[in-house]
Amino acid sequence: MEQGGFFLPCFDESSSLGQVITLNILLVCPNFPPGSGATFFPLGLAYIAAYLKQAGHRVVGLNFNLLPVEQRLPALQKLLQEESFQVVGAGGMSMVMESTEGIVATVRQWAPQARVVLGGGLITADPETMMHHLRPDFGVMEEGEETLLQLVTFLEEGREDFQNIGGMLWWQGERLCNNGARTPIANLDALPWPDLEAFGMEEHLSRMPVDTHDHHLTTYGMGKVIMIQSSRSCPYRCTFCFHPTSRVYRQRSIEQVVAEIQYWQSRYQVNTFSLIDELFDEDFERVRRFCALLREEKLNIRWNCSLRVTRVDGELLSWMAEAGCTMISYGFESGSQRVLKSMKKGIRPADIARAVALTREARIGIQANFLFGDPADTLETVQESLDFQAENQLWFVDFSAIIPYPGSPLYHLARRQGRIVDPIEFTRNLSPLDRYLWNQKTPPINFTALSDEDYLLTYQRLREGADANHRKRLAHVVWERVVGLCQSVVGVRCEFCGEEGEYPILYPPGSSPNGVPNKNRPFVGVLGTNLLCHTCRRKMHLPVWHIPHMASLWEGFQEKIKGLVDEKIPVVVLPAMDRHWGTVSSRVDFSGLQVTLVMDPRPTWWGKTFLGQTVQPFDPMQVAAGLGEGRVVILPAYDGQSLHQGLVQAGVAEERVVDWRDGVASGI
């Protein structure tokens, strides 16, 4: 089906070109978060679904993101039992490897006749390794549309000359054959628009809140969001990046991008769009054309994108703001020229400072990070970034550890240097990232000249420093009201533009206003939340003890600690605290507490000193046996609930556990 010269997605079960359905294909979106919700949408698979449907094939989509973790593989099994699929495909970035392992095993058990095809960054980044481990029938490298359609055509015709399909891996007996990269699709306008409905876009949007509540950034009234892809790949070669859709940067026409936005806006009644390109554009005339066309078509939308800091000018940003741009994601990475050069960023700290000033003036929000752990990083370069951060008041630009994602230049460097001994285990540990960063069996890769201990200590200090930086721009609360166990409403005056706005605060993030917590999300309760001004888009921080319905929690915990001190009751403390100790100890006075033992489940802490005691491995049976008339104090921790449960199961009476969470909604 065509309209206005553009292909529209196909939502029926037959070919848009009137051809007879030939093969029955199932495309499965794997996922890594344990919870279900509107955090991710498989746009790449949606493009492939539309492309295959256009050629006449029946395509069924299964989006794991819309299912709780325990229902994902059973849902796949049910589909495989109900229908006969000739091809089952799946794909995604490297973080979905564990989910993909389950998909392949389920298909092999319940549909052994189906050909399994895997693609996306997972295969493209390290093809031979993943093919030997996952053992699909075929692997697709880089873009999947043309390669998968050609493979499906070969299977339909009974052909086995798979060596003629570019961009594919396949097996000849036990020998893995790699046909090499395929020429990237030059004309992206020739592709049909993605089949969003195949992967449950309506349900995806129904789960998406109008307000988003998070520790990092809480926004209000943004509405439902649809992702738009206006280009593929990136023309730059930063050492920490990997481009799964090939190394060739290509763009769709602005006319088609705007037409697609207009179509989805009408179909789903959505007014917020996220341009998810790695780089929206370096040619800012294209950006100007985009803004002009949005205004010509009178599309009253909000949108965000990614830009480089070079060549940004005030006039362009003014155009973007007038056309509805609310946030720009920039790649800052470092305030040190030495590190930026090592990263092959092609930018200077002065470029970053200029872009920051102009973007703030245009009242567009800024999203960016600094990275720590480049081979050129030293304590001196880290200090350069900290100084640059202070000079430009970048209090909400946090530090993230550099992770050598599969396929990136740093990943290949780590493989050559023997730092990644087991690439399968390495990839598995990337989800969740906390498992990679704090795993003792395979500690994070340290490319710097710092010792491994100093590397982790520096990163820990940077994270704690980021929390302290947030508190340098506090939200000025002018009125407040508690409306539920997990929700308050506060009136905040922005110190930058002077405007006053109303901000509902849902805390802990992921809870519901009536007090039902999101059990799939860990809760520390220390970080507070960052608010985005409705008017000028500047960020400001609301500490957790300034959240009305959370204030009593901290007051109650202080009273309990004071009671232990006054009665001279000996206590066992767990766990040891790193990043959040400075925050907690600034609000709760622990002086005089008689600490007899400190325990922690994390090997990184064993043997170190906390609260004057040498930290021991967490052993609930030991605590139960030796507690006597003492108490156990549980400090804020990601695994606080499991620590509490372990103590009770070991025989520690509930009344002897002083859990800082007491008084918060049950189950948090």
Measured distance CA(251)–CA(232) in Å, rounded: 7
Indicate the class that CATH gives domain 2-178: alpha beta
Which residue in 237, 247, 234, 239 sits closest to 410, CA to CA? 239
Reported confidence tier of residue 19, pLDDT bands at 50, 70, 90:
very low
pLDDT of residue 485: 79
Q: Which of 540, 433, 548 is nearest to 487 (CA)?
A: 548
**Same fold across 221-402+447-470 and 554-659:** no
Q: What is the pLDDT of residue 668?
A: 40
- One-letter amino acid at 429 equals N
**In angstroms, what CA-CA distances link 498 with 76, 471, 505, 602?**
53, 19, 20, 46
Beta pairing partners, 530: 541
Query: Beta strand pairing status for 398-401 and 369-372?
Result: parallel
CB atoms within 10 A of CB 451: 10
Residue 27: the pLDDT is 98
Q: Report how far apart, in Å, the C-alpha atoms of 642 and of each of 32, 371, 658, 666 are.
A: 21, 32, 14, 14
Output Rg (C-alpha) for the chain, integer angstroms. 27
Task: Tell me the mean pLDDT in the region 84-93.
Answer: 96
DSSP code per residue over 316-373: HHHHHHHTTEEEEEE--B-S-HHHHHHTT----HHHHHHHHHHHHHTT-EEE-EEEE-
Q: What is the rounded distance in angstroms from the CA atom of residue 349 to the CA atom of residue 330?
A: 13
Whether residue 3 is predicted with pLDDT greater than 50 in this model: the reply is no
CB 274, CB 303: distance < 8 Å:
yes
Instruction: Show me where the domains of the chain are located.
Output: 2-178, 221-402+447-470, 476-548, 554-659
Helix H, strand E, coil C: the string for 490-526 is EEEECCCCCCEEEEEEECCCCCCCCCCCCCCCCCCCC
Residue 117 CA to residue 137 CA, distance in Å, equals 6
Q: What is the CATH number of domain 221-402+447-470?
A: 3.20.20.70
Q: What dihedral do alpha carbons 604, 606, 607, 612 form, nearest 10°? A: 100
Stretch 588-603: mean pLDDT:
94
Query: What per-residue confidence (pLDDT) applies to 164?
Result: 97
Q: Which fold has domain 554-659?
A: Rossmann fold (3.40.50)
pLDDT tens sequence across 315-332: 999 999 999 999 999 999
pLDDT at 516 over 80: no
Prediction pTM value: 0.89
Which amino acid, residue 623? V
**Model confidence over 383-426: pLDDT tens digits?**
999 999 999 999 999 999 999 999 999 999 999 999 999 999 99
pLDDT confidence of residue 18: 43
Query: Residue 284: in which H helix or E strand, if any?
Result: helix 284-296
What is residue 71's predicted lDDT score, i.e. its pLDDT? 94
Q: What is the pLDDT of residues 144-155, one digit of tens each?
A: 999 999 999 999
Q: Phi-psi category of 380—alpha, beta or left, where left has phi over 0 and alpha has psi -120 to 50?
A: alpha
pLDDT at res. 586: 86
- Cα–Cα distance, 158 to 141 (Å, whole number): 22
pLDDT band at 442 (very low <50, low <70, confident <90, very high): confident
State pLDDT tens for residues 217-254: 767 667 789 999 999 999 999 999 999 999 999 999 99
CA distances from 403 to 92, 142, 400, 408, 603 (A): 18, 21, 9, 9, 21
Q: What was the pLDDT predicted at 38?
A: 58
